[in-house]
Amino acid sequence: MQLLLDIGNTSIKWATWNGRQLGTTGSAIHFGALPIDLLAAWDELADIREILVARVGPESVLDAVARVAHARWDCPVTLIGTSAEAHGVRIAYAEPARLGVDRFLALIAAHAEHTGCKLIIDAGTAITYDLLLDDGTHLGGLILPGINLMRDTVLAGTQIPRYEPASTDQCWAADTAEAVAAASIQAPAALVERLWQRLQQETGTTPILLIAGGDAERLLPAVDLPAVQSPGLVLQGLSRFAEASDQDTD
């Protein structure tokens, strides 16, 4: 059995892979280390022969994973990176390594699971937007600060109180604090709609909208388009590499 890890800027998500499908899953805020509750959950895992890691977060978390892998399972840790082409997806970047591996794996998962052109949103610490054609061609993407980061940036050094929650059914506000909160959701939602419409115009088809990430539930109600909430895209992408690794060892 393999253990798949998605180490983000604030959280770590994991799943087991038995050679056919994802099994036990979990997630935790990492604060730059491996949380105790995560380690406790891993006590139940046996026969881990390899750990596959996608990392955009702190290297300290990866170092801790390597120590646990050696102590508990004496297994290798394989770090997955972005390449120009993999599993039917061709990256738009001239320097593929500059595309975050989380976005790379989400593209691979989306291509494997859905037909047609796709707009893939990952709403986390940052909000990423990627456009993918049906044949696996990555057109490129955009990055915005995440919802909380937008609010923090505007509110820093002011006396404006932090307002929660923000209304998603009203595009404007009649109060400064609420205006900041609402804009942090309405702005990224509007960009979703603009990119979706542009992709529709460019391809003459109806794009599939996939929204993932910890803030997906905050963003979804503000998007006036049919969307598929897609948690675990990065882990699903990692499972493609795990499957390939299984075939290599057969």
Does the active-site annotation cover 102? yes
Nearest to 16, CA basis, from 54, 42, 35, 55: 42
From 102, 122, 130, 215, the catalytic residue: 102
For residue 207, cis peptide bond before it (omega within 30 degrees of 0):
no
Residues serving a catalytic function are: 102
